[in-house]
Amino acid sequence: MKLRLMLWLLAFLLKRALRRKARFRELLTEMRGLDWGIATEDLAIARHYRMTPRGIQSGRGLPVDLDLELRFEDEATALQVLRKPTQQAFLDGMMAGTVRLVGDSADLQKLQKLLRHL
């Protein structure tokens, strides 16, 4: 339940940053948008985010056309990594096999640039 709430709150924070932070809007305009999602490996908990300079949409589940997916072994692992989403935390999780990246790692770097402005 905590992970679902955290992912819903992330959508709220992304929408607020788009309205209030000029640098966030600039970066998103340069990228021309980013579609990404977060899920547990068994897809019991999953949420996707479609971000464009015009707006941010969020929904349950993971559509197949996303640019980037972050898959976590279980809910506890997701909570641990997402509470302190540093690059080192993601790398450690990938090396341990508890975090899986589906998509291009360049998109992950773009996402991390955006999330700094929340």
**pLDDT 10s digits, 33-84:** 999 999 999 999 999 999 999 999 999 999 999 999 999 999 999 999 988 8
- CATH value of 2-115 in 3.90.120.10, 3.40.50.10860, 3.30.1050.10, 3.40.50.1980: 3.30.1050.10
Whether 5 has a pLDDT exceeding 90, the answer reads yes
> 86-93: long-range contacts (C-beta < 8 A, 24 or more apart)?
87/112
Residues 66 and 46: their CA atoms lie apart, in Å, by 13
Helices (H) and strands (E) counted in the chain, each on its own, are: 5, 5
Whats the size of the chain, residue-wise?
A: 118
Q: Residues near 97 by Cβ (< 8 Å), separated by ≥ 6?
A: 73
Domain ranges within the chain, ordered by starting residue: 2-115
